[in-house]
C-alpha cells in the first residue's frame, strides 16, 4: 500500500471512536508515521494519547486527506473545524452513514473532492469491507488513495454511484448486527431444547464464526457450502425447510429487513 502522500502532507482524522480507532490502528500498522496524523477527538482514550499523533492540536495548512469519522448527528458541529480546507487540494473522506456528498459540498464548498464510504465494524479486527464512491472533483489518484486508506482494515469495493450506498449500508454496514442477532437467537433456541445457556451460546458463537471463516476461505459458493452440509432427509434439511420457506423463512424476512435499513438510510440522507 502506497501512502507516501499522506506521510508527506499529513492526514486529519475528525473523530476517533471505534471506527476511527480501527482505521488509525490500520494506518499506523501500514507504516503511516504517527507524526503525519492530526486527530481531533474531544474524548481521547489512553491508547490514542500514547500513539504519538498530533492530538487536538489544530490541523496542518493543506493535508492530503481529512477523514470524517464522527456520528452523522454530530457532523454539523464538527465540520466548521475543517471548512478552511474545502475547495482545495485536501481530499475529504466520510464514513458517516446517511450524510450525502451534496451535504458535504454545501458545508465545505462545491469544488471540494469528496469520497463517501461505508465500512463496517469487523474493521476493528481487520476483516471489514468498505464500499466507496466519489464526486466529480476526485481524481483517479485521490480515489486510489481513499481505497488504500480503507484497505488498511479490510476489503474495498467501488460503487458506480452514490445511489447504491444505502443498499450497501443495509447489507454490510448494518449486516454485522444481523449476524450477532443470529448468534443470540441460535443460542436461545438451543437453550429451549435443553442446553445450558453458556453451552448454547458457545456452540452458536463458534458455529457462526467457523462457518464464516469457511465461507471466507472456500472457493465454493455459499449455496454450494450449504448443500455440502445438507443430507437429503436429514436434520439440516428439516431445519432448512423452515428457514428457506418462501413465505415465512429467511428470504422474505431478510429482504424486508434490508429494505427497512435502506429506506432509513435514504430518510437520513434527505
Tell me, what CATH number does 103's domain have?
A: 3.40.50.720
Residues 231 and 204 in one domain: yes
Distance CA 67, CA 44 (A): 17
**What's the confidence (pLDDT) of residue 75?**
79
> How many domains does the chain divide into?
2
Q: What is the pLDDT of residue 117?
A: 96
Confidence of residue 2 (pLDDT cuts 50, 70, 90): low
> Of the residues 118, 142, 165, which one is the last residue of a structural domain?
165
Q: Give me the pLDDT at residue 6, please.
A: 87
pLDDT at 1 over 60: no
CA distance 156 to 95: 13
Q: What is the pLDDT of residue 34?
A: 96
User: Which residues span the domain enclosing 196?
Assistant: 175-268
Q: Are 118 and 77 within one domain?
A: yes
- Residue 170 included in any domain: no
In a shared domain, residues 132 and 189: no
What pLDDT score does 80 carry? 84
Q: List Cα–Cα distances, 269 to 81, 189, 228, 262, in angstroms.
A: 22, 38, 42, 11
Residues 152 and 107 in one domain: yes
Looking at the structure, tell me whether residues 160 and 179 fall in a common domain. Answer: no
* Nearest CA-CA partner of 203 in 220, 224, 188, 219: 188
Are 97 and 222 within one domain? no
CA distance 91 to 86: 9
pLDDT digits (tens, 9 = 90+) for 156-197: 999 999 999 999 999 999 999 999 999 999 999 999 999 999
Amino acid at each position: 500500500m502506497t501512502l507516501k502522500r499522506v506521510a508527506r502532507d499529513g492526514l486529519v482524522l475528525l473523530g476517533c471512536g471505534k471506527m476511527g480507532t480501527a482505521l488509525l490502528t490500520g494506518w499506523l500498522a501500514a507504516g503511516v508515521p504517527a507524526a503525519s496524523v492530526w486527530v481531533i477527538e474531544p474524548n481521547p482514550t489512553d491508547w490514542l494519547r500514547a500513539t504519538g499523533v498530533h492530538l487536538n492540536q489544530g490541523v496542518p495548512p493543506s493535508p492530503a486527506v481529512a477523514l470524517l469519522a464522527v456520528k452523522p448527528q454530530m457532523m454539523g458541529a464538527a465540520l466548521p473545524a475543517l471548512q478552511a480546507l474545502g475547495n482545495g487540494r485536501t481530499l475529504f473522506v466520510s464514513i458517516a452513514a446517511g450524510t450525502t456528498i451534496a451535504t458535504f459540498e454545501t458545508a465545505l464548498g462545491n469544488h471540494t473532492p469528496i469520497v463517501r464510504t461505508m465500512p463496517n465494524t469487523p474493521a476493528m479486527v481487520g476483516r471489514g469491507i468498505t464500499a466507496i464512491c466519489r464526486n466529480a472533483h476526485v481524481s483517479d489518484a485521490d480515489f486510489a488513495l481513499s481505497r488504500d486508506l480503507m484497505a488498511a482494515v479490510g476489503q474495498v469495493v467501488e460503487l458506480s454511484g452514490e445511489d447504491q450506498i444505502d443498499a450497501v449500508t443495509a447489507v454490510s454496514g448494518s449486516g454485522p448486527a444481523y449476524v450477532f442477532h443470529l448468534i443470540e437467537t441460535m443460542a436461545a433456541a438451543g437453550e429451549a431444547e435443553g442446553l445450558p445457556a453458556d453451552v448454547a451460546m458457545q456452540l452458536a458463537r463458534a458455529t457462526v464464526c467457523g462457518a464464516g471463516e469457511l465461507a471466507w476461505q472456500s472457493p465454493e459458493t455459499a449455496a454450494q457450502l450449504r448443500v455440502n452440509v445438507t443430507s437429503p432427509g436429514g436434520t439440516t434439511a428439516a431445519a432448512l425447510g423452515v428457514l428457506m420457506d418462501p413465505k415465512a423463512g429467511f428470504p422474505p424476512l431478510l429482504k424486508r429487513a434490508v429494505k427497512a435499513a435502506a429506506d432509513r438510510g435514504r430518510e437520513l440522507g434527505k
